[in-house]
Structure 1
Amino acid sequence: MRYTHGVICADGSLSGDPFDDWFSSDPGIQYLTDDVAIATEPRECRSSSQPVAAEGEAVGFWLLGDVYGYDASAVGRSGGYESRPSDVDPAQYCASLYEREGRRFVCGLNGNFTLLIYDRERQQFTLCTDRFGTVPVYWTRTHDGQVVFSTNIQFLPSHPAVETSFDPAYLHEYLAFRRTFGVRTPLEGVEKLEPGTLTTVSLADGTLTTDQYWRPRYRPRDESFEWFVDEFARRFRTVLDEWTDDGREHGVLLSGGSDSRLVLAGLDDATCFHMNDWMNREARTAERVAFEADAEFELLERGAQYRIDALERNRWAGSFNGWFSQPYTSGFEDEITGQVDALVSGLYADSLFDGFSVPSPTVSLGSLGSVTVPIERSIETIDDYVDLLLESAHDEFDVGTDLRSVLEANIYRDGEGIVHHGVTYDSLDELVYYGDCYPLSNDDDMRFHTDLRRMLPYRSPFLDNRLIELSLSLPIRYRLRRNLVGQAVDRLSPDLAAIPHASTGVSLSQPFPVEYAGKHLLEFWQKHVTNRTPPKPYLTDGPWLDDAELLRSHEFPATVLRQRADLADGLPGLDADAVHELYREHQHGENRVGELYTLLTVLTMPVTEHVLARDSAVLDDGQPIDTRSLQKRVINVA
């Protein structure tokens, strides 16, 4: 088990073993009182087997994830920012801050975490999330008032007191967007904790209150681009220097692009891991970068079978965020953990520092293709934002709900703010510029981030508070028409910056117009000029294989759809015949990757079988359902 589970009870009735009927094997209970039960796995919880204590034994702490430091100015204190000493346990660090500042210390924490605080004297249990909600916790309230939570949504419905079904509207959203937004999930009554909040359960009367201490506020600074490059490079190097001063052997997930190259430029020594399906242009560029940095290069070769096997390998990691394939490194855990103690990636640089999340118009060039114009597309109303979302939807399923109506019901003004699926933004600017990554579960790569975090100590510098704050001050024109990350690489390591980007063919030190032209010229060359043929039709020269061709080249989708046709029939609004028709359309030239991959992910999740079996209330032999038998049938915690 690599997850944390908990039960909070207001009537003090948690006698015996509250996990005995939840899991089919020993969950490794760490803590139990009449009010609170916590079970966790050591790699998920950065503390000892018992909670770290503060104020004598009155308050207990569990830390899921990691804390990097503390900014006293966030709570109105002088002293500025301090990094957590590497030899201080993160939960103990939080306990010492609590004794000094009380609960408000959470406002100044820098890290990727969810913090659990059990205050026995005040009879309160509080769950504290970091600013972007990078360590998701799923929770629900049972009919008898218990609050049940887990870092893995797959386990919640198997709790004996939890009753849930699929919500057709939010299941439709997941099928269309391969994610659900904000705090919503496709399971009725199950939500995620809000980012940047303290959610407190009273053990006296069961009431639940949520206090928000942070949300993104976009305030662009009137500074030159050179100022931002200098400031960005300085903060980035500071973050990496603090993180790597711990004697660990660090690994970097290295691509042929710029984000991970910046990470490598900031490290003095590292092992580079590059995942690819063959030694293509992307892989050769990454190898050249590692060679130039005098770093060890390790090719983690995937191939078609690696992707196919991910259906089974990642089925317990399903979170209704992303596809079965997106815990990309899950099949290389032994290779990575056998060589390094910690891992650093460039994840979320594109969401925070370039034009990825800024809407821009696309212009068709006919048979030549299309280009995205680096100017901001005007989004002036919530209706405009809904239109923007719908443009990216894969909505070929007729599930009985209208996707536009679902979005309009969940995105609305509330006073001066805008609520997006239970998460509040100050204005339309914050929603448009940061809605793709705040909370982090709005980004479908959250599944990759979570898999890395559970594998070994893992960090992405771009999720450090100091870089997030800089992003919130970066003018949109610089995100769209400049290359901040590339220029920072040039500051830290000109030799690495001189190596051409695998997707543009030009060096990172080149100005944006050259980069922009190079990217589109390379795309044109690949599509219309070169006659280079990869070894397999689903192989490419980039970082990913061609999933459309993979689905046509291998029979695994047909096998899964045939074996799980009863589940497809049981999902709201779906039926096996319609699903097979989509597959046939894809085989005959239509592109249905989005619909098929999302559906394959849902059909192979253990939670799908469990929820639909509970809905029908009978097992295969037609007898009334036995909860423990069903759990043993679909749950393997080991």
Structure 2
Amino acid sequence: MCAICGMVNVAGLEERAVEDLLRVRDAMVHRGPDDAGLFRDAHAALGVRRLSVIDVAGGHQPIPNEDRTIWVAFNGEIYNYRALRAEAEAAGHQFTTQTDTEALVHLYELHGDRFLDGLRGMFALAIWDAPRRRLLLARDRVGIKPLYYGALPNHTLLFASELKGLLRHPAVSRTLDPDALDQYLLHEYVPAPRTIVRGIHKLLPGHYLIADAQGTRTERYWEIPDGPPQCEWTLESAATAFRGLLRDSVQHHLASDVPLGLLLSGGLDSSAIAALAAPCRPPAFTIGFDEASFDETAPAQRVAAHFGLEHHTVRITPSDVGDILDQAVAACDEPLGDSSMIATWFLSRLARSRVTVALSGDGGDELFGGYPTYLAHRWAAHYDRLPAFVRERCIEPLVRRLPVSTANMSFDFKASRFIRGAGLPAAQRHSLWMGAFGPTEKTRLFSPALTAATAQNRRAPESIVTAPVTRDVADQMMALDRRTYLPDDLLAKVDRMSMAHGLEVRVPFLDHAIVEFAAGLPAALSLRGGRTKTVVRRALQGLVPPDILGRPKKGFGMPIAEWLRGSLRPRVASQLAPRRLARHGLWNPDYVQQLLREHWGGRHNHAKLLWTLFMFETWHEEYLR
């Protein structure tokens, strides 16, 4: 795993380009603490910080072809690199290392841009073709590894693995994008290709970028096939196929020349990875909380014991969070309102104390219908058919009078979320259920200046949904999550928090063969009898303990609601104080103070709203102040 960066100007780089690029590269040393590399010619410069995983001693980057006219900088892992290397050798190419990276430059020579079709793995890469003065940037199919880019005032293209690297370049303007902020407040993350900084973009998953004398352009080389199912699956046939695909993926993801472990929650997906990786005896790592409704150490311990795995745990306390909060936010690049980023920070730190690589169960919920939200969309259709007076005068007033709980996924939380999205189109409803600030809250939160700045560009979630409308609404929402929440929240969180500690996290569920398979399954197979992930549960029968198979979805959450009323209260009160908010003038401070009073007084659970604001304010002071 690495950090990559670079600059390209087909008219020629300025004299100080290397000096500026080194600042970008070395701002990402946490991603690659083992080695640093640089290539430069008259038109391009590539930089790399390397975390050594494959061919530890010999994998210095950037790596050229035989005549040193084509160079590659690479972040990630290619799991089928041995077969690709054999193909290139059979065609006459000579190798000087044992890394997966070197295969890429020769495959590019053999196949051009279409070499991306043959890659199996997670990656962000840059290839400089000097004779053609042509740069190729590419990102893996699902968006596991990040890649940011932007144009400098002198028409130089600048790119890097992290936004914080780009911001170290003196010509990059640190200007907030108000439309991206608008999206962040709704989703708790900024959907690609936007970033929170105006003029900087994320390369979309499954896309590549070309920069040459004709300009800069992006193209898609792969997309999730969310069309009609290509065959008639039964539960048994789907479970059998999935079990084989996951077994194969885990075996490929276990390849490593450095110590490897497992992130274990005790949930279905990480337990599946544990079952299939158990013959290699990876150590397992789990975090826990004193708050019982959030704690999963007991089931994780049972899974580890069942498979004979060495098990390491750490418990997170509110004081622990206060100690690392600024570090975690700084690692995020962009504001991220997903509170599980803090848990991921501690889990990554624990794992990195013993291993360099860890397998994770991330991605299974988005592929196989693991969130209760998908079931709720079906219930919403029935709810919306109730007479208006029953909904508006009976059910909804009762829900608003429920006692407020701070427990994980409490009934009052789920019920209030459900009625919040009632009557809306499915994509809007989904965004409100999953996110933070809806249109009503934004109207009260935004200052007049921010209201004016965002009035012309409200991105509708429906524009992202590509699944045919004839399919189940759950299919459509799973397609939405695979394109937005998965890469821009979940995978971004895991990448930034793990790489902050120099830990490489691999996600076997997101092997593209599994993604393609899952996208072809109807939701009716995965959501049956009021239960989620029925295909996965059937596939894992006999592999994981029976009590794990029957566990409901718990989620990787944190007791933020309680902590905001307790030990984190002074910090949040200070960060959201009117005098501090006045520095940027984005919010209505009276509304923010109202949210605080209502949450502290126990009248409402505003944890998602307050945490989303708190994370933005902490990020803003670190990056843009």
Alignment of structure 1 residues 89-488 onto 2, 5 Å = 89-202=99-212, 204=213, 207-218=215-226, 219-220=228-229, 221-246=231-256, 248-267=258-277, 268=279, 269-278=281-290, 282-318=296-332, 319-323=334-338, 326-331=341-346, 335-356=350-371, 358=374, 359-361=377-379, 369=411, 384-395=426-437, 396-397=441-442, 398-399=445-446, 400=448, 409-411=458-460, 419-420=463-464, 425=466, 427=468, 432-439=477-484, 440-444=486-490, 446-452=492-498, 455-481=502-528, 483-488=534-539
* Counterpart AA for 1:39: G
Instruction: Quote the Cα distance in structure 2 between the aligned partners of 1:241 and 1:177.
Output: 35
Alignment of structure 1 residues 550-629 onto 2, 5 Å = 550-558=563-571, 561-562=574-575, 568-571=581-584, 573-589=586-602, 590-605=604-619, 608=621, 610-612=623-625
Larger mean Cα displacement after TM superposition, 445-454 or 253-262: 445-454
Instruction: Quote the Cα distance in structure 2 between the aligned partners of 1:196 and 1:290.
Output: 35
Q: Is the 8 A contact 1:53 1:95 kept in 2?
A: yes
Instruction: Quote the Cα distance in structure 2 between the aligned partners of 1:369 and 1:610.
Output: 38
1:60 counterpart residue number:
71
* Counterpart AA for 2:70: V
Cα distance 1:57–1:34, how it changes in 2: closer, same or farther (>3 A)? same
1:40 counterpart residue number:
48
Cα distance 1:382–1:453, how it changes in 2: closer, same or farther (>3 A)? farther
Cα distance 1:608–1:151, how it changes in 2: closer, same or farther (>3 A)? farther
1:532 counterpart residue number:
none
Instruction: Quote the Cα distance in structure 2 between the aligned partners of 1:584 and 1:177.
Output: 24
Larger mean Cα displacement after TM superposition, 389-398 or 346-355: 389-398
TM-score, normalised relative to structure 1: 0.76
Instruction: Quote the Cα distance in structure 2 between the aligned partners of 1:88 and 1:473.
Output: 36
Instruction: Quote the Cα distance in structure 1 between the aligned partners of 2:105 and 2:512.
Output: 20
2:561 counterpart residue number:
548
1:497 counterpart residue number:
545
Deviation at 1:90, TM superposition (A): 1.6
Q: Is the 8 A contact 1:130 1:196 kept in 2?
A: yes
Instruction: Quote the Cα distance in structure 2 between the aligned partners of 1:169 and 1:603.
Output: 17
Deviation at 1:233, TM superposition (A): 0.7
Superposed CA RMSD in Å reads 3.9
Cα distance 1:100–1:39, how it changes in 2: closer, same or farther (>3 A)? closer
Q: Is the 8 A contact 1:548 1:592 kept in 2?
A: yes
Q: Is the 8 A contact 1:314 1:324 kept in 2?
A: no
1:100-150 Cα offsets, whole Å, 9 max, x none, are: 322211122111111111000111111011112221212221222122222
Cα distance 1:277–1:2, how it changes in 2: closer, same or farther (>3 A)? farther
Deviation at 1:385, TM superposition (A): 2.2
| Percent identity of paired positions between Structure 1 and Structure 2 | 23
Q: Is the 8 A contact 1:567 1:603 kept in 2?
A: no
1:583-623 Cα offsets, whole Å, 9 max, x none, are: 22211122221122122222222x645534xxxxxxxxxxx
Deviation at 1:487, TM superposition (A): 2.2
Larger mean Cα displacement after TM superposition, 91-100 or 559-568: 559-568
Q: Is the 8 A contact 2:7 2:44 kept in 1?
A: yes
Deviation at 1:355, TM superposition (A): 4.4
Q: Is the 8 A contact 2:63 2:73 kept in 1?
A: yes
Larger mean Cα displacement after TM superposition, 183-192 or 444-453: 444-453
Deviation at 1:238, TM superposition (A): 1.3
Deviation at 1:18, TM superposition (A): 3.8
SS, match of residue 232 in structure 2: coil
Instruction: Quote the Cα distance in structure 1 between the aligned partners of 2:605 and 2:519.
Output: 37
1:628 counterpart residue number:
none
Cα distance 1:577–1:3, how it changes in 2: closer, same or farther (>3 A)? farther
Q: Is the 8 A contact 1:6 1:36 kept in 2?
A: yes
Instruction: Quote the Cα distance in structure 1 between the aligned partners of 2:481 and 2:243.
Output: 24
SS, match of residue 264 in structure 1: helix
Cα distance 1:24–1:392, how it changes in 2: closer, same or farther (>3 A)? closer
SS, match of residue 266 in structure 1: helix
Cα distance 1:445–1:571, how it changes in 2: closer, same or farther (>3 A)? farther
2:32 counterpart residue number:
none
Instruction: Quote the Cα distance in structure 2 between the aligned partners of 1:582 and 1:122.
Output: 57
1:231-278 Cα offsets, whole Å, 9 max, x none, are: 111111112223325465431111122111101110111211110024
TM-score, normalised relative to structure 2: 0.77
Cα distance 1:394–1:562, how it changes in 2: closer, same or farther (>3 A)? closer
Instruction: Quote the Cα distance in structure 2 between the aligned partners of 1:577 and 1:371.
Output: 25
Q: Is the 8 A contact 1:72 1:108 kept in 2?
A: no
Deviation at 1:419, TM superposition (A): 4.6
1:624 counterpart residue number:
none
SS, match of residue 238 in structure 2: helix
**Higher helix content, 1 or 2:** 2
Instruction: Quote the Cα distance in structure 2 between the aligned partners of 1:31 and 1:558.
Output: 45
Instruction: Quote the Cα distance in structure 1 between the aligned partners of 2:572 and 2:150.
Output: 34
Instruction: Quote the Cα distance in structure 2 between the aligned partners of 1:331 and 1:432.
Output: 30
- Residue ranges of structure 2 left out of the alignment (5+ in a row): 28-35, 88-94, 384-394, 403-409, 416-420
Instruction: Quote the Cα distance in structure 1 between the aligned partners of 2:579 and 2:490.
Output: 27
1:131-175 Cα offsets, whole Å, 9 max, x none, are: 122212122212221222222223434422122421222212212
1:4-51 Cα offsets, whole Å, 9 max, x none, are: 332222321332354449849966662222322233321299894442
* Counterpart AA for 2:331: A
Cα distance 1:371–1:97, how it changes in 2: closer, same or farther (>3 A)? same
1:14 counterpart residue number:
14
